[in-house]
Chains A and B, each alone.
Chain A
């Protein structure tokens, strides 16, 4: 045979194929190697891969839960409790981080030297300390210094703060459904009104007081249900009960556990610094000429802010801020450090210890976070496309 003329065909197609085939081979080899080892290891421990354990009885308790839960419920239920707690602390954190962040961001641009400096130092201080240390500080140092149950800090006799947590009145509704529907109705009608107002403005140049109408809807419709729908609201105020000579407990009301307070506090104060920087960059990013042009065609100061500056600033602010919301949600997993029962502590901690099913549980936990962040980034891409400046 003649090998002299034999040559590998390095035409373009093969050149592309070889590295790709090698990549696939590498990935397949790693996966196969890992799964063979995993099977061996699990076989040695007498467990087999599967998600059947989710329906088994969990037999552990969780200190704080938004839904009915005790040890007789399943692992799947425990997962749900953890997920809801994660969502709760993230929602609270996002709410306060936004308010604080926007305030600080605007304050950094204030003409007032003192205010601008104070805001700048807030950002510099809280951004440069690791979040976990801030959580530890609030939980182990600051909230532990609160008084005991007997001499709680008293807010006007309706809410009490002590080392065991914060006790606030509980809302007791009758006919809550009707009230809720009225709120939904109000929001739907506001959307209709704003659409109608936009149409009127675009076509006939008429101004309709949308803000006033929105407030009227939002307050008026629920108020009507109070008058005619039989909706009523009463408060259950927490009361101090003496169990024994030295043991006091608050009964009634809602108790907010210190873990939740310190976690929400640290998360919102830390994330607010990043949101403040986004807000500042967004407002600075609007061209000065835009404001001057708006002023020159006779718009008032509030109109300039509402119609010219804010729409452009928001386009810059919103994408990185959504990213920060995502970071806050991921950072809420630090809850495990102070035993706030979030998804990591409940599921990847306690449930894993009890079942020993490391692979299944860690994968579920990671997939939960992954689907959360992927859905937010899909939404972000859609939003960016929608908001991108359409050049004519």
Chain B
């Protein structure tokens, strides 16, 4: 019987699999040697053919090992996950080859050719990333222009936060509400006083000197705490039966949601002072906080409204039948349930808020991204933009990725509970 070589089947399993896997291995070996050791095995072939040889070899090899129901578990797994058709095989090879091709230069830039030691730009000679830049500026990236001697105040503020939050998980349930009250109402005041100073023998540090990563946290934490009650009231207002309250809430929410944050910040910078009596000066940071709070409150209102709408009507009716008034009903029955429903949405809003904080550069406040911008224009450190942005991107990525992971887990946990 004449057999078609290009139609592998089960009867010649061993032959096909050995031949196929040899070809695939050859393809990967060629590429690995090519990209890690930069020697081209197939250099005797003309340029373009040499470039495509691993792809051809790999494709042929994958074709040979594509045998359905071979009985071998590993082979079947490979075939269903990577090699179900010719198109899939090409995709597998392309993705794998792209990863192999780009790994060595990236690794070289990040680690092997990078400079870690030294104190100035002249110490960076090996051609890779100059992490010296990040090392020298790290203090500024984290604390901004905050005086070195006073930085313990920022540290202790954040330590206090971690301490309280950590403690929160270990106290009995009926004490937890005091922790929340402390965190929401007392802690912000303590933190603000500790960082800004002026009383209790602490040196006053003007908000213009605040900056870096700590400012990112300060702005996003304060905006979150402040936008929560405003958003809650707006959400209730939007669902109110009273036309004036309903439409003024809708108007307020849609106004803020319809404009970009950067114009809101511009507004707080140049237009807001015009609306205040002549001679009043409101601190830049406060103005920014008000602007971001109002902006995020509109988004928060929509998230909370989603939770309110998702609650079954019976909850409202049951609360009313117990003789509860509007506020009592909402605070004790409706909102606790609605808020629990929208925890993922709140987390997403917070995520968006953290990602939006770099925009405060338009009013001259420099958090992490702004500090990088400042550092890279320093005459002694020109040409360090790449390192700076990669570092800032990594920091933001770690923060946002862990937060989004946490919120996804929370979502999963809550959805199984219901």
Q: Which of A16, A130, A344 contacts B369 (CB 8 A)?
A: A130
Confirm or deny: A11 has a beta carbon within 8 angstroms of a beta carbon on chain B.
no
State whether A114 and B95 are in contact (beta carbons under 8 Å apart), knowing that A130-B356, A333-B262, A344-B262 are contacts in the complex: yes
B88 touches A112 (CB 8 A): yes
Interface size of A as a range:
35 or more
Confirm or deny: A352 has a beta carbon within 8 angstroms of a beta carbon on chain B.
yes
Confirm or deny: B71 has a beta carbon within 8 angstroms of a beta carbon on chain A.
no
The stretch from B7-15, B31-39, B79-87, B158-166 touching chain A is: B79-87
The 8 A CB mask of A367-392 against B (1 = contact, 0 = none) is: 00110111000000000000000000
Q: Which of A112, A130, A358, A372 contacts B358 (CB 8 A)?
A: A130
Q: How far is the CB of B119 from chain A (nearest CB, A)?
A: 23
A24 touches B244 (CB 8 A): yes
Tell me the complex Cα distance, A44–B376, Å.
Answer: 40
A113 touches B82 (CB 8 A): yes
Tell me the complex Cα distance, A127–B408, Å.
Answer: 14
Chain A: which residue is nearest B243 at the CB level?
A20
A344 touches B404 (CB 8 A): no
B358 touches A133 (CB 8 A): yes
**Contact partners of A118 in chain B: CB under 8 A:** 95, 99
B81 touches A373 (CB 8 A): no
B92 touches A137 (CB 8 A): no
Q: How far is the CB of B391 from chain A (nearest CB, A)?
A: 10
**Contact partners of A330 in chain B: CB under 8 A:** 259-260
Q: Which of B81, B99, B262, B274 contacts A334 (CB 8 A)?
A: B262
Q: Which of A19, A348, A362 contacts B245 (CB 8 A)?
A: A19
**Contact partners of A358 in chain B: CB under 8 A:** 270-271, 274
B254 touches A374 (CB 8 A): yes
Tell me the complex Cα distance, A27–B356, Å.
Answer: 29
Q: How far is the CB of B265 from chain A (nearest CB, A)?
A: 10
Confirm or deny: B316 has a beta carbon within 8 angstroms of a beta carbon on chain A.
no
Tell me the complex Cα distance, A114–B88, Å.
Answer: 10
**Contact partners of A113 in chain B: CB under 8 A:** 81-82
Chain A: which residue is nearest B88 at the CB level?
A112
Confirm or deny: B386 has a beta carbon within 8 angstroms of a beta carbon on chain A.
yes
Tell me the complex Cα distance, A110–B244, Å.
Answer: 51
Confirm or deny: A125 has a beta carbon within 8 angstroms of a beta carbon on chain B.
yes
Confirm or deny: A151 has a beta carbon within 8 angstroms of a beta carbon on chain B.
no
Confirm or deny: A140 has a beta carbon within 8 angstroms of a beta carbon on chain B.
yes
B259 touches A137 (CB 8 A): no
**Contact partners of B258 in chain A: CB under 8 A:** 369-370, 372-374
State whether A131 and B355 are in contact (beta carbons under 8 Å apart), knowing that A16-B242, A359-B271, A370-B255 are contacts in the complex: yes
**Contact partners of A365 in chain B: CB under 8 A:** 263, 266
Confirm or deny: B362 has a beta carbon within 8 angstroms of a beta carbon on chain A.
yes
The 8 A CB mask of B268-299 against A (1 = contact, 0 = none) is: 00110111111000000000000000000000
**Contact partners of B84 in chain A: CB under 8 A:** 111-112
> Which residues between 366 and 418 of chain B lie within 8 Å of chain A, taking CB atoms?
369, 372-373, 376, 385-386, 389-390, 392-393, 396-397, 400-401, 404
A133 touches B91 (CB 8 A): no
Q: How far is the CB of A10 from chain B (nearest CB, A)?
A: 12
Confirm or deny: B359 has a beta carbon within 8 angstroms of a beta carbon on chain A.
yes
Tell me the complex Cα distance, A132–B368, Å.
Answer: 12
B260 touches A333 (CB 8 A): yes
A112 touches B92 (CB 8 A): yes
> Which residues between 319 and 354 of chain A lie within 8 Å of chain B, taking CB atoms?
330-331, 333-334, 336-337, 344, 348, 352
**Contact partners of A130 in chain B: CB under 8 A:** 354-358, 369, 396
Tell me the complex Cα distance, A270–B410, Å.
Answer: 25
**Contact partners of A125 in chain B: CB under 8 A:** 397
**Contact partners of B263 in chain A: CB under 8 A:** 333, 344, 348, 362, 365-366, 369
**Contact partners of A38 in chain B: CB under 8 A:** 274-275
Tell me the complex Cα distance, A358–B376, Å.
Answer: 31
State whether A336 and B262 are in contact (beta carbons under 8 Å apart), knowing that A20-B242, A110-B91, A359-B274 are contacts in the complex: yes
Confirm or deny: B363 has a beta carbon within 8 angstroms of a beta carbon on chain A.
no
Confirm or deny: A144 has a beta carbon within 8 angstroms of a beta carbon on chain B.
yes
B278 touches A44 (CB 8 A): yes
Q: How far is the CB of B258 from chain A (nearest CB, A)?
A: 4
B245 touches A133 (CB 8 A): no
Confirm or deny: A66 has a beta carbon within 8 angstroms of a beta carbon on chain B.
no
Tell me the complex Cα distance, A331–B88, Å.
Answer: 36
State whether A114 and B385 are in contact (beta carbons under 8 Å apart), knowing that A23-B244, A130-B369 are contacts in the complex: no
B260 touches A129 (CB 8 A): no
Chain A: which residue is nearest B80 at the CB level?
A111
B358 touches A132 (CB 8 A): yes
B385 touches A141 (CB 8 A): yes
B400 touches A20 (CB 8 A): no
Q: Which of B95, B262, B355, B389 contacts A141 (CB 8 A)?
A: B389
Confirm or deny: B248 has a beta carbon within 8 angstroms of a beta carbon on chain A.
yes
State whether A115 and B358 are in contact (beta carbons under 8 Å apart), knowing that A41-B274, A336-B262, A366-B263 are contacts in the complex: no
A41 touches B266 (CB 8 A): no
Tell me the complex Cα distance, A176–B80, Å.
Answer: 53
**Contact partners of B81 in chain A: CB under 8 A:** 111-113
What are 20 A-to-B residue pairs whose CB atoms are below 8 Å? A20-B242, A34-B275, A37-B278, A113-B82, A127-B400, A128-B355, A129-B397, A133-B396, A134-B393, A137-B386, A140-B385, A140-B389, A141-B385, A334-B260, A334-B262, A344-B266, A373-B257, A373-B258, A373-B259, A374-B254
Q: With A133-B392, A141-B389 given, name 12 new contacts (CB 8 A).
A: A23-B245, A38-B275, A111-B80, A114-B95, A115-B91, A125-B397, A128-B396, A128-B401, A129-B396, A136-B372, A330-B260, A362-B263
> Could you tell me which B residues sit within 8 Å of A by CB distance?
80-82, 84, 88, 91-92, 95-96, 99, 241-245, 248, 254-255, 257-260, 262-263, 266-267, 270-271, 273-278, 354-359, 361-362, 369, 372-373, 376, 385-386, 389-390, 392-393, 396-397, 400-401, 404
3 nearest A-B residue pairs (beta carbon): A128-B400, A20-B244, A330-B260
